[in-house]
Amino acid sequence: MDLNTLWFILISVLFTGFFILEGFDYGVGILLPFLGKDDTDRRLIINSIGPFWDGNEVWLITAGGAMFAAFPHWYATLFSGFYLALALMLVALIVRGVAFEFRSKDKDPRWRALWDWMLFIGSFVPALLWGVAFMNIVRGVPIDASMTYVGGFWDLLNPFALLGGLASLVMFTFHGALFLSLRTAGEMQERAHRAANRLWLPAVVLTFALVIVAYFATDIFTRLGVNPGVSAVAAGAALLASGWFARNRRHGWGFLMTALTIFFTMNTVFRGLYPRVMVSSLNPDWSLTIYNASSSPYTLRVMSIVALIFVPIVLIYQGWTYWVFRARLTREQSLEY
């Protein structure tokens, strides 16, 4: 394995970890206005992800930094071509972070309601746009011979990408409902349980519809050598199993299954892309690959040494955080500020 392939794998792992961890954050934020019947309920919901959300976002920052350092042409083409969409996502993430901090600064119900809805918007928009972004990457976007995106904003809002956005939105919300079922007790757990049961079928329908459309709209399945591919079948099986576990109140197993669904889905996406990192819809030969978009071998070697030292430290610390805050939360424990 060369260093180009190694860093492609590492970036895929970072994005996969981000979607598994931040995915339930988004889901809980989307469910906030609907499952929180009063201020105490909403405080409880926010507390369920309070110790984790900012740490989960580090995975995205690291993935972006790794992309910039290892594959600068990929970074440049992606961020210039998807500029408006990524700017909108960035604004949503900023609003979301501010909402976590500002909500408790005033006890006025209108103030808190405002930031609750900002938290909803800041979770809804990225959950939708990440699906849109990745489906455009695998479908192909207008990239010319100089690795420059030559399309417009509306080229990104094609039916296939929008279907991917809806699938990721519902999948993350389902993932978040199962996480909330794990983190809470009492009436809130019952509400999250009912929400998970309602969300499972739409998640299945949208995900399987996306797979069918992707079979005709992209080449990722045929490139895997086996149709539809072991990872795609595993993702579908895990999603089906998650519904059974959720319905039988085995929320831990259900959450594990949704995490595996996301894992195998991203595995399918990145394996179907390899060795490409962005597909050109104008000419396949103009696609960005791990070789024509990469940094120098020296840069990749230095990055590999740094990653070998610091990535285990970060993983140990984040695992310790989840262990410390593993206990369920109840309405009575919810703090008022």
- Taking only the tens place, the pLDDT of each residue in 138-159 is 999 999 999 999 988 888 999 9
Q: Is pLDDT above 80 for 331?
A: no
**Residue 236's pLDDT band (boundaries 50, 70, 90)?**
very high
Q: What pTM was computed for the model?
A: 0.93
Q: Is pLDDT above 60 for 287?
A: yes
Residues with Cβ within 8 Å of residue 261, at least 6 apart in sequence: 171, 207, 235, 238, 239, 242
To which residue do tokens 């019952």 refer? 190
**Residue 337's pLDDT band (boundaries 50, 70, 90)?**
very low
Inter-axis angle of helices 39-49 and 109-139, to 10 degrees? Answer: 40
pLDDT in tens, 181-202: 999 988 999 999 999 999 999 9
Q: Is pLDDT above 80 for 218?
A: yes
Provide the percentage of residues in the chain whose pLDDT is more than 90.
Answer: 73
Other CB atoms within 10 Å distance of the CB of residue 263: 19
pLDDT (0 to 100) of residue 329: 84
Q: Is pLDDT above 90 for 8?
A: yes
pLDDT (0 to 100) of residue 113: 92
pLDDT (0 to 100) of residue 334: 60
Q: Classify burial at 282, counting beta carbons within 10 Å of its beta carbon; exposed 0-12, middle 13-18, buried 19 or more.
A: middle
186-222: b or e for each residue (b if 16 or more CB lie within 10 Å)?
eebbebbbebbbebbebbbebbeebbebbeebbbbbe
- CA atoms of 91 and 80, how far apart (whole Å): 16
The secondary structure of residue 329, as a DSSP letter, is B
pLDDT in tens, 12-63: 999 999 999 999 999 999 999 999 988 889 999 999 998 888 889 989 999 9
- Lowest pLDDT segment from 6-15, 78-87, 248-257: 78-87
- Lowest pLDDT segment from 49-58, 63-72, 283-292: 49-58
Sign of CA dihedral 285, 286, 289, 293: positive
Contact 44, 331 (CB under 8 A): yes
Provide the mean pLDDT of the chain. 91
As a whole number of Å, the end-to-end CA separation of the chain is: 53
**Residue 335's pLDDT band (boundaries 50, 70, 90)?**
low
pLDDT in tens, 85-119: 899 999 999 999 999 989 888 888 899 999 999 99
pLDDT (0 to 100) of residue 226: 60
Other CB atoms within 10 Å distance of the CB of residue 164: 28
Q: Is pLDDT above 70 for 228?
A: no
Contact 207, 168 (CB under 8 A): no
pLDDT (0 to 100) of residue 190: 94
pLDDT (0 to 100) of residue 327: 85
